[in-house]
Amino acid sequence: MKGRRFFVKTFGCQMNVNDSEKMAGILVSAGYKKTDNLKEADIVIVNTCSVRAKPDNKAYSFIGELKRLKKEKPELVVAVTGCVPQRDWKFILERYPHVDVILGTFNFYRILDFLESSSKPSVEILDTFLENEGEIIPSIEPLLTNPFVAYVTVQRGCNRFCTYCIVPYVRGRERSVPPENVVDEVKRLAEEDVKEVHLLGQNVDFYNYNGIRLPDLLYMVSQVEGIERVRFTTSHPAGFDISIIKAIKEIPKVCEYVHLPPQSGSNRILERMNRGYTREEYIEKVMMLKEKVPDVALSGDFIVGFPGETAEDFEQTLSLVETCVFDQAFVFEYSPRPLTKAFSFKDDVPKNEKNRRLMELNNLLKKQAEEKNLSLLGSVQEILVEGLSPSNSEKMIGRTRNNKIVIIDRNDSLKGKLANVKIEEITPFYMKGKVIKQLAGVER
């Protein structure tokens, strides 16, 4: 079936993006071709997310639309993978008969066998509760979205069971990839000219393989020649500690950027969420981080309108934000998810109030982000030049160690290189900079 064209639609988190890149890598190695034009595809893969009702609904409406496409083109093969079918495969099978292949989060890498199987629909969902299931996800060369920046999944699943969260049910138990596999994967990526790696895990602070923890892994990965930058995400406030702060401070290639989602600033709500830390502990960790790594950028996620969240609880979240000061953050309205403990709690914050809290929190976060960016005006920042700006081919785009976007004048010799730039202008979405010096490597 060589030469057939596939289109991949990805919803959800970076791990899902990485899983999609792996599926694409498998298909390209087998002779298939990737297309970004849905109309010309022979195969469509929908890699789904179930974390909130919104992405879940979006996945279903996308799958629904494919029905029409398949009518026009009956040989079209439709595959649905990831977190939605992991839980909902029977529903998909019954309600969407135009879907040919269904795979979950443990076996998505078997996509080729299933696409080529002569029996359709071809479905396999492994039980999320089997210990170690999924451990054996083989090493797969991804088809990178960005040639210089790659995701590397180092930990899958989650054991924390926050009461609102479906991830432990659709991604299974927490398991860490052996460090030697991680290092091998990073070495291979470095050979392909990748300069920056993002180590991914649902709560990567808890990475643990026979006593090898995240700081050890960061050290090992940063030793790989050719790699200039290392990032990691998502940190969990209960696992984030001084050993990780030290790694950020002491390993030059580890970037000063931490995504540490508080979710709420109210102890009562944090407890109902089963987050495993208090507001005071969160603030203390952030203060310790900012003291040891003063130029760090802090990012977070928040849920507003969790069941039982009062105006006072929400005030506590605003006050936590005032105290900690974020560079970037994502705010979500609470969305009840099946299987989770909070599904049985009364979803008692009215929709318009959830929305009001979302806007108020977003306004505060936006103001903080703008002030933080303004403070960088005139400063010199290291950027990794990723390529041409998508909106202007005379410009190039890069990112600072703090993960902020910087636009510079086009200079093709800088592609995939580190450079120091002087920040000359700040806009709400990016900064403009002037290259002062190309760097041979990290000079921190």
Task: List residues forming the annotated binding site.
Answer: 13, 49, 83, 158, 162, 165
Q: Does 89 bind ligand SAH (CB under 6 A)?
A: no
Partner touching 177 among ligand SAH, ligand SF4, ligand F3S, none, CB below 5 to 8 Å by kind = none
Single out the segment in contact with ligand SAH by CB under 6 A; choices: 29-37, 160-168, 183-191, 352-360: 160-168
Query: Which residue of the chain is nearest ligand SAH when measured via CB?
Result: 301
**What is the phi/psi pair of residue 406, to 5°?**
-125, 130
Buried/exposed code over 20-57 (b: 16+ C-beta within 10 A; e: otherwise): bbbbbbbbeeeebeebeeeeebbbbbbbbbbbbeebbe
Single out the segment in contact with ligand SAH by CB under 6 A; choices: 146-154, 159-167, 221-229, 395-403: 159-167
Partner touching 15 among ligand SAH, ligand F3S, ligand SF4, none, CB below 5 to 8 Å by kind = ligand F3S
Partner touching 303 among ligand SAH, ligand SF4, ligand F3S, none, CB below 5 to 8 Å by kind = ligand SAH
Partner touching 305 among ligand F3S, ligand SF4, ligand SAH, none, CB below 5 to 8 Å by kind = none
DSSP state of 39: G
* 164/257 with CB nearer ligand SAH: 164
Provide the angle, in degrees to the nearest 10, between the axes of the packed helices 53-72 and 83-95. Answer: 50
Q: How far is the CB of 162 from ligand SF4 (least distance, A)?
A: 3
Point out the annotated binding site for [4Fe-4S] cluster: 13, 49, 83, 158, 162, 165
Query: Which residue of the chain is nearest ligand F3S when measured via CB?
Result: 12
Partner touching 334 among ligand F3S, ligand SAH, ligand SF4, none, CB below 5 to 8 Å by kind = ligand SAH
**Residue type at 94?**
E
- The continuous run of DSSP H or E covering 91 comes out as helix 83-95
E strands, 181-225, are 196-200, 208-209, 212-213
Q: Does 332 bind ligand SAH (CB under 6 A)?
A: yes
d(CA 218, CA 253): 9
Which residues in the 277-316 window bind ligand SAH by CB under 6 A?
301, 303
Q: Does 261 bind ligand SAH (CB under 6 A)?
A: yes
* 156/399 with CB nearer ligand F3S: 156
Q: Does 49 bind ligand F3S (CB under 6 A)?
A: yes
**What is the phi/psi pair of residue 229, to 5°?**
-140, 145
DSSP state of 263: B
Which residues in the 68-87 window bind ligand F3S by CB under 6 A?
82-83
Strands 328-333 and 297-304: parallel
Strands 5-10 and 43-48: parallel
> Which residue in the set 6, 8, 12, 204 belongs to the binding site for ligand F3S (CB under 6 A)?
12
Token pair belonging to 316: 């506590």
Token pair belonging to 299: 């990012």
Burial of residue 312, with CB atoms counted within 10 A of its CB: 0-12 exposed, 13-18 middle, 19 or more buried:
exposed
E strands, 74-121, are 77-82, 101-103
Q: Assess contact for 137 and 54: CB atoms under 8 A.
A: no
Q: How far is the CB of 286 from ligand SF4 (least distance, A)?
A: 18
Partner touching 170 among ligand F3S, ligand SF4, ligand SAH, none, CB below 5 to 8 Å by kind = ligand F3S
Residue with tokens 């977190």, as numbered in its chain:
83
Burial of residue 138, with CB atoms counted within 10 A of its CB: 0-12 exposed, 13-18 middle, 19 or more buried:
exposed
| 3-class secondary-structure state, position 331 | strand
* 167/189 with CB nearer ligand SF4: 167
Residues within the interface to ligand F3S (CB under 6 A): 12-13, 15-16, 49-51, 82-83, 167, 170-171
Residues within the interface to ligand SAH (CB under 6 A): 51-52, 164-165, 167, 202-203, 234, 236, 261, 263, 301, 303, 332, 334-335, 337
